[in-house]
Amino acid sequence: MSRGAEHGTGRTEIEGQFRIFPAKGKNWGGQGIANFEPTCKSLRQGPGTGAAPHPDDVENPVTKSLLRRSTAVAALGTTAAVVLTACGGGTADEPAALDPDADLTQQTIVVSNWESYMPEDIAELVKDETGATVKVTHHATNEDLVAKVTAGGGDGLDVIFGTAPFLEAFAKEGLLEPIDTSLLENWGELDALATDGAVIDGETYWAPYTWGTTGICYREDLVDEAPNSWYDLLTPADEYKGKVTMMGTDRWAVLPAQKALGFSANTTDEAEMAEVKDLMLQAKPNLLAYDDNTFYERLISGEAVMVEAWDGWCNYGTAENDNIKFVVPEEGSDLFVDGMAILKSSKSKEAAYAFIDTVLKPENHAWAAENILYNVPNQAALDLLPDELLKTYDVLGERRPEMLEGEALTDVGDAASLYTKIITEVTAS
């Protein structure tokens, strides 16, 4: 979702120069790559996500990394507990105390992230500016990350990027280091709603990186009236039947029906989920497709007029056609967060803290919004975005009430199998 060098990684229009890491000295910083394959196979593959097209690069918006990243986001939370259980989890040794005088030139940290979700030249920048050695590895999906982390209790990794329900599951397994937010100079820039969601039993376990919500992305020139309800997708007007898509992964496949019926997006009640299934079955004949990867392309071509979409991904369509708009239905929606966490097994926690703190600097955090086209929970960063970008993507740069009122998706634990069973039965019917 962010850019590689050929797509603009390392570039910013903020002050004309991209700098993500501080100068050498007391400031800690770093990030990393490990070349290993997970030894525990994920139990389920979701659809794919990856790097968002940059506004200057929208002629060919579908990239391999884009498809990879959608899988990661789409699989969010439904299988986290199941995969962790199947892989056996892990218990890391008790962490050593942080050393405020640590020499970062002697530290190497490994960061696992989705491909193109941060600048490709971070390792070089960190080495030049902090002295820390930086290596980067990629996971294609949250499940891939689960396999990496649980294979050896996190050995070989220091910082991970993941979606909140998966990070929550890691924390409950004792795999994450609680974060002392007083050591992060830029923590105070973050929105309290996002940081509060990272707290489990009084401890903070991740730093929010991006956040967003799910709604309806539509062609305003191809519909008589703008949609405002999930029922506009579930039971569309006759002229729109066969021209709407919904997502086919567990959490987002059920979300429209859950919200339309007034249920929680995290419900584990079997009777409620039975009603959700019934409504999904009623909606299925009206659909063009279940689509987690190319729904915005269908809008661009006109094949679809309304689709279930993440707000950031709707922006990819808007980049090519300004008739493509986004709305959160009146029944409400979700609030999802991707965050950065430190593994308890990390041997270079000082560099890990430095990496996270530097990414959270407003001038650096703004890079994510500019290149990924998702909001970041950092108003100081959003204030630095170019005016042209904000005019093009009207869901960026705002603390939008309809997003902030969304229900945070959480780990549903053992109910993951119920979600998987329902979506499998609906899509196979």
pTM: 0.75
pLDDT band at 94 (very low <50, low <70, confident <90, very high): low
Kindly state the average pLDDT of the residues 280-288. Answer: 98
Higher-confidence residue of 81 and 354: namely 354
Are 322 and 350 in a shared domain? Answer: no
Residue 367 inside a domain? The answer is: yes
Q: How confident is the model at residue 8 (pLDDT cuts 50, 70, 90)?
A: very low
Residues in the chain: 429
Residue ranges making up the domain that contains 359: 5-212+337-399
Q: Are residues 23 and 74 in the same domain?
A: yes
227 belongs to a structural domain? yes
Q: Is there a domain that residue 288 lies in?
A: yes
The CATH code of the domain that includes 275 is: 3.40.190.10
Q: Looking at residue 74, what DSSP letter applies?
A: H
Pair (128, 161) in one structural domain: yes
Give mean pLDDT, residues 268-289: 98
Residue 56 lies in a domain: yes
- In this structure, are 238 and 156 located in the same domain? no
Residue 326 lies in a domain: yes
| Residues 313-330 pLDDT 10s | 999 999 999 999 999 999
Query: Which of 122-126, 130-134, 341-345, 362-366 is the least confident region?
Result: 122-126
Domain annotation covers residue 405 = no
Q: Do 182 and 56 share a domain, yes or no?
A: yes
Identify the residue whose tokens are 């000295």. 25
62 and 129 together in one domain: yes
Tell me the two tokens of residue 386: 């170019």
Q: Pick from 141, 215, 211, 189: which is nearest to 374 by CA?
A: 211
Please report the pLDDT score of residue 67 as a whole number.
35
pLDDT of 161-185, one tens digit each? 999 999 999 999 999 999 999 999 9
Q: Report pLDDT for 29.
A: 29
Co-location of 227 and 322 in the same domain: yes
Above 60 in pLDDT, residue 51?
Answer: no
Scanning the structure block, which residue is given the tokens 């960190």? 126
* Residue bearing tokens 């939008």: 400
Cβ 265 vs Cβ 165: under 8 Å: no
| DSSP H/E element including 82 | helix 80-87
Q: What does the pLDDT read at residue 397?
A: 81
Q: Around Cβ 174, how many Cβ atoms within 10 Å?
A: 12
Same domain? 330 vs 220:
yes
Are 206 and 170 in the same domain?
yes
pLDDT recorded at residue 361: 87
State whether 243 and 279 are in the same domain: yes
In the predicted model, what is the mean pLDDT of residues 84-88? 46
Looking at the fold, whether 227 and 346 belong to one and the same domain comes out as: no
pLDDT bin (cut points 50, 70, 90) of residue 16 is very low
366 shares its domain with 223: no
Closest by Cα among 92, 8, 173, 14 to 347: 92
In a domain, 136, yes or no: yes
Query: How many domains in the chain?
Result: 2
Model pLDDT, residue 32: 25
Given the structure tokens 């991740």, which residue do they identify?
206
The CA distance from 194 to 202, in Å, is 15
